[in-house]
A and B are shown apart, each in its own frame.
Chain A
Amino acid sequence: MSGVKFELQKEVFESTKERLHGVVTVQKTNRKKKIPAYLCITGSIERPIRFTIYLVKKTEKGFKRKQEWTLSSLKESNYKSKESLEFDLQLEKSYHWLAQSVEEKDAFFALLHQICSRMHRPPKFLNFHIDEEDEATRNVNMAIVSVPKDTQMIESGDEEFGLTEREEFDLEKVLGRAENAVVNAEAFMEQLAKELSILDGENIHSIMDSEAQVNSLMDSIDKSISQLEEIENELVDYEDAVTHVKSAVEKIEEENSQMGTAAKNNQHLLSELTNLIRALDFPVGSQILNADFNSVEGIAKATKDAYALKEALNIEENIHPALLKMRSVADQKRRLEKFKQKFSQNLMSHLAKLFIHHGNISSIDSSSTVQALRLPIINLMYNELTPYTKLMGWLKVMDSEAYGSLLKTYTLSIQKIYEKNVRILFEEARTRISGSATTSGKLSGSTNDLRIRGRFFGKTRSLANREGDTESQGSGEGSVDSSERQHFYDILEQVLEGLEPSVNTEEKFIASFFCLEIGSSSSGNVSIVSPSKGSAGGELRRIMSSLFSAIETELNSFLTNYEKMEASFCMGAMVRLGNHALKAENTSTYIGMIFGSVLVQEKRSFDRLMNSYVQAINDSRLPRKAKPGILAFVTDFEDFAVMAESIFGNSARRSDLEKWYVKMLTAVFDGIMRLAGESGKTPGEVIRMENFHRLHSILSRLKVPALEQQKKDAKIKYNEALNGYVTKYFGRPLIKLNEFFEGVQAKVSQGVKESEIGYQMAFSRAELKRVIKEYPAKEVKKGLESLYRKVEKHLSEDENLLQVVWRAMQEEFIVQYKSIESLISRCYPGSKITLEFTIDDILLFFSEIAQSH
């Protein structure tokens, strides 16, 4: 029970600042289900105290206040009987509860009664009697609930009561003990006085007994005093002695600290001097001057000594500046300086000799350049020089003048090798190209440049006068075929591949040997930065460009030379240069920049070439023959596209090509339209129809996603031209009939009723009969035959559109026939006028025309 009480207090009443005084576990009498609930009596912690009765239920989530009443609303409580667990409370209505046990019920009622008893208008308690036991229980409960004695309850604010329970209790106790006093006060007082006198007597006796003891105590005290004085005298003596000792000790202490300082200073001095000597000491002074550069061990030793010397010369960093003023220090520095100069001179002259030596021996060997079409890598020299790398680093820091002059010597000696080999490489490349080409004789040296230039669209001009003109044949012979083209690209590829490793190796070597920075990010964009202008990593770039200046000029002149013979070579050159420039190992290297810069040149050549093609299309004329057929620039475009696709493939440069495709096609479209407009004998529709049909076929085969729109446009233009041609010419066989019914149609659309057409002068039945007479079946057949011949004459063999056109014309003719028939039946009803030929006649004519070919 107390557990529940504690939980209730904590979970329910803590928050409302109330104190739980009593609780009884109850359930409703009329409920079958046992839902335990707690009927609680609480009082507020703050004053004035308010008593409240709560009904609290325990749910899964914890306790929950279901109902509350103020205590004052309790009107009546019925205890029922001691044997029963039931009890009633009359609040705003009557509640019947069943307590869990009689004890709980009793305790609750006792508490309720106790609290209520103090109220102004206490409620009625039925069947509830407080007996003596209850009184005791009540006191116990009082202690438990600790209702303060002096509590002023709001319900009982004006109630008076004489003694509290405690006082009453105490008084009872006293009264219990002093029962006699009330009965016989005088006897009691006498007894007390007697006792008092006995105690006085005892007291005086004991005082008198203690005097002797006091005297002996006084003696002892006197003795002690004299002894104390003696001790004091002795202490004064000691103090004198100690004062002397103190001053002596202080003196010793002072001396001690002075000695310590001296020792420390000596130590400092010693270490400082040791440092100085160690720093300045250079025991191998003479060895370094005689350093042996001819063996790896010698070089390693020299490197070690050189760095030791560098360390010694850098004493400023390790030593107090004041020490530098020491004469011996200055002397030693001077000596070291001399060592340094001598050593760097030795090193410089040795390396310079090596450079010149290699410059001479390596230049002899250029056969590999020729054989492999590959710039040599001077591995011999690299291997020999690599051990000196650290010494080079030393020299750069210690003697920048010597370093600079060595750099110059190196550049001058090695430059020769590369210049020569680059020249040989390109000469060999030329030989190989012309060597294989001698069989067909097209790329061998001095071909007539201008004749071949602009192969594809150059042909346009010669095609225009192909009839009996041998010039076109000549031009055809002059152009290179695809195997020669491939050969040229293969050689170019070999040259580019042959240049790369050597130049890259050299660049790496120089960067590490001369301790130079490899080009920085500014050179990342290969195609824009020109090698001569590279700013960051400038020194390396400068050396590289003086070593390999030949490459760019040779490569440029090589390409220019061959592009003079065959302008379209720039396309492949562009693709290959682009591939090489974008290679991972070439990014931000010198060769990458060279390729990038040449690539820019090639891109310009390509743009020029493309422009010339577009120009050629724009300048093209209609051929002087009866049937223009497929225009030369249309077939040229196909040839060009096939070649361009084979060159560009999916290379990074493809976007350049596609841009020009679009421009070129725009020119082709415009060209077709323009020439169709200029055409004399052959109808423009035919030129447009045939050429756009071909163009659509070319683009379908090409399958370039970027040209999808152009493909669709070509199809649209073809269909437009086909329809235009058919409608323009199909009317010919029945021209007068058509004119007549066009007039009828015009009248109808002006608002004349169809049935009244026959009353118009120009369109009377007689007139209609007259026109129909002109087209007997025989005439119609003749007309159709001549139309077929005409179409046959218009169309060229190139595009095989005769069947397509004729089918469309047949269809159109039947449509026309039917529309005339229906107009007759509507406008001249009942006239029994019909055309002189039937649809079966027409079909028969078609079959006969078919059979006659």
Chain B
Amino acid sequence: MSPKTTTPSLHKVIMVGSGGVGKSALTLQFMYDEFVEDYEPTKADSYRKKVVLDGEEVQIDILDTAGQEDYAAIRDNYFRSGEGFLCVFSITESDSFQATQEFREQILRVKGDQSVPFVLVGNKSDLEDRRKVSKEDAENRAAEWGVPYVETSAKTRTNVDKVFFDLMREIRVRKDVEGGDKDAPNKHKKRKKLKCSIL
């Protein structure tokens, strides 16, 4: 029970994508099992939840971000802080699918890492009759980027847990490769300092 000895590992997930594609809806469905109908643009909101990932208790931090920003550079800071990204578009809106390209590019530039944990998410799969983005197009783009593509519905909760858990698994794999240590945040700083002294 002592909090100090078994601090669960912490995974930082960032929700990105155009406005109104359902980033907050996905987050709230994942966090509280609820679907909020009314749309209210998000600026930035932070969520934290303890979940069991493959038998291990972990903590997930979700940063839900604004779809519209006047200046893209504002995003740099939280992209920098993220360990994994759910890049969301709406299958009923071609523009939102186009926008994923820019998000992807900015994330790669900020993280300076081509293989950052990343899931392309086509939301609103319940609105099949209003689909504008074909599954094939989305899958092609995901294949091009080398990332998984998942279609979700925040309304019906389809695949909601899956995208978060898939992303966390990717993050965990990355961390194991990088440091093989669960206590990531602390170690991270130490490593940096170490590097500095070597330099």
Contacts and interface: CB of A to CB of B under 8 A. Distances in A.
A639 to B, nearest CB: 11
B39 interface: no
A847 B74 CA distance: 8
A846 B48 contact: no
Interface string A472-506: 01001000010000000000000000000000000
A850 B43 contact: no
Contacts of B44: 803-804, 807-808
A799 interface: yes
A807 B46 contact: no
Interface in A279-295: none
Nearest to A481: B1
B46 A804 contact: yes
B57 interface: no
Contact of B110 (A804, A843, A850): A850
A811 interface: yes
Contacts of B70: 811, 814
Q: Which of B46, B63, B78 is the most central at the interface, judged by chain A CB atoms within 10 Å of its CB? A: B46
A481 B77 CA distance: 42
Q: Which of B34, B70, B74, B110 is the most central at the interface, judged by chain A CB atoms within 10 Å of its CB? A: B74
B81 interface: yes
Given A843-B73, A846-B77, A808 B46 contact: no
Interface size of A as a range: 20 to 34
B47 A850 contact: no
Nearest to B61: A800
B31 interface: yes
A811 B78 CA distance: 13
B46 A850 contact: no
A549 interface: no
B49 to A, nearest CB: 8
B197 interface: no
Interface in A796-844: 799-804, 806-808, 810-811, 814, 839, 843-844
Interface string B130-170: 00000000000000000000000000000000000000000
A701 interface: yes
A703 interface: yes
B195 to A, nearest CB: 14
Contacts of A697: 31, 47-48
Interface string A679-707: 00000000000000100010011010000
A799 B1 contact: no
A808 B77 contact: no
A700 B27 CA distance: 13
Interface in B28-69: 31-32, 34, 43-48, 61, 63, 65-66
Given A803-B44, A850-B77, A850-B80, A473 B2 contact: yes
B76 interface: yes
Contacts of B71: 814, 839, 843
Contacts of B97: none
26 contacts: A693-B46, A697-B47, A701-B31, A701-B32, A703-B32, A800-B46, A800-B48, A801-B46, A803-B46, A803-B77, A803-B81, A804-B43, A804-B45, A804-B63, A806-B77, A807-B66, A807-B77, A807-B78, A808-B43, A808-B44, A811-B74, A814-B71, A847-B76, A849-B77, A850-B79, A851-B80
Interface of B: 1-2, 31-32, 34, 43-48, 61, 63, 65-66, 70-71, 73-74, 76-81, 110
